[in-house]
Copies of this chain bind each other. A is one copy, B any other.
């Protein structure tokens, strides 16, 4: 892992704890290595695999010869102030899952399968067990998505972060054959819009949600929630790769949008060719109660809610009408949520029919 260990030995007196760094590396090694096997399984024939070992300056992944015209698809993300919820609840084993799943979903919009991941963790104080929890979450979600964790950097920055604070960023590289890239160009008016339900806020809207819920006890329940409000806020970002993989293999997906910051209007148009719009049918998917709580506590207008949150619809994709049967057979949890229409040029490109 590049720089995972701040090797300097004279740092303790200036606030960089080398012994803690070394213990952290020992703690995370097994988790990191556990991700390397899945990569080969993801490749066909002589597919990609991890070379080298921990401790080198960089992570090496051989592409192999299984690809004809490979395109590398990359993305970087953080988890925003969802971190503050994790810190408040002192639960650090899920935030890494959020980070990886968000990145996996971002490159999935192009049709890419994950290859490898690197993480950056900056902490006010390097607590080895906390870092290990974070990295174990990263490794678990990497394994679940067939992605190799090949590098990471841990920085201890006592005068940037409060002692208990930290920030994390992730970086993913995936791969897709050039003729299998999904870019929305085949989308046409009349196509079906499908949705996959989110697991909650994912990693967006936490600055607003936390402000609204500042005086609401995280350990309390709320009607419709299975657990506490804190647990609902910390629910991990869903990876849509398992649900989409069979559809992508069939080549029937014409466009995909990951509903992140900006909500429906901010993300769905990113997959649409010019001149087209989308009508979504409100009620076609379930809105988790946590959004109801946020809206009520913050007295937020519905239109605002749709621009900040995914409101239960974390993933949208488009197929032709003719492929509806195949979608239902291959991805039973896909919901038909709307239609592609002509854009009348007079307002939003996403219209929410039947909304409150």
A58 B159 Cβ-Cβ under 8 A: no
Residues of B within 8 A of A33 (CB): none
Which of B14, B73, B300, B308 is within 8 Å of A208, CB to CB?
Answer: B14
Residues of B within 8 A of A260 (CB): 3
Q: Give this chain's copy count.
A: 2
Residues of A within 8 A of B (CB): 2-3, 5-11, 13-16, 51-52, 55-63, 65, 69-78, 80-81, 83-84, 106-107, 109-110, 112, 115-116, 118-120, 122, 150-153, 155-161, 165, 167, 169, 171, 173-174, 178, 181, 183, 204-205, 207-208, 211-212, 257-258, 260-263, 266-267, 270, 300, 304-305, 307-308
Assuming the contacts A74-B118, A151-B74, A270-B56, asked whether A261 and B159 have C-beta atoms less than 8 A apart, the reply is: no
With the chains together, A305 CA to B57 CA distance in Å?
22
A62 B57 Cβ-Cβ under 8 A: no
A74 B7 Cβ-Cβ under 8 A: no
How far does the Cβ of A159 sit from chain B's closest Cβ, in whole Å? 6
With the chains together, A109 CA to B52 CA distance in Å?
13
Which of B74, B205, B212 is within 8 Å of A59, CB to CB?
Answer: B74
Q: Give the secondary structure class of A's interface.
A: mixed
B57 A270 Cβ-Cβ under 8 A: yes
With the chains together, A186 CA to B264 CA distance in Å?
56
A-B residue pairs in contact (CB < 8 Å), sample of 29? A6-B262, A7-B266, A7-B267, A8-B261, A8-B266, A9-B266, A9-B304, A10-B208, A11-B308, A14-B207, A15-B207, A51-B181, A57-B270, A58-B74, A58-B109, A61-B74, A62-B69, A62-B72, A63-B71, A74-B116, A74-B118, A74-B173, A77-B120, A80-B155, A120-B171, A122-B169, A157-B167, A157-B207, A171-B171
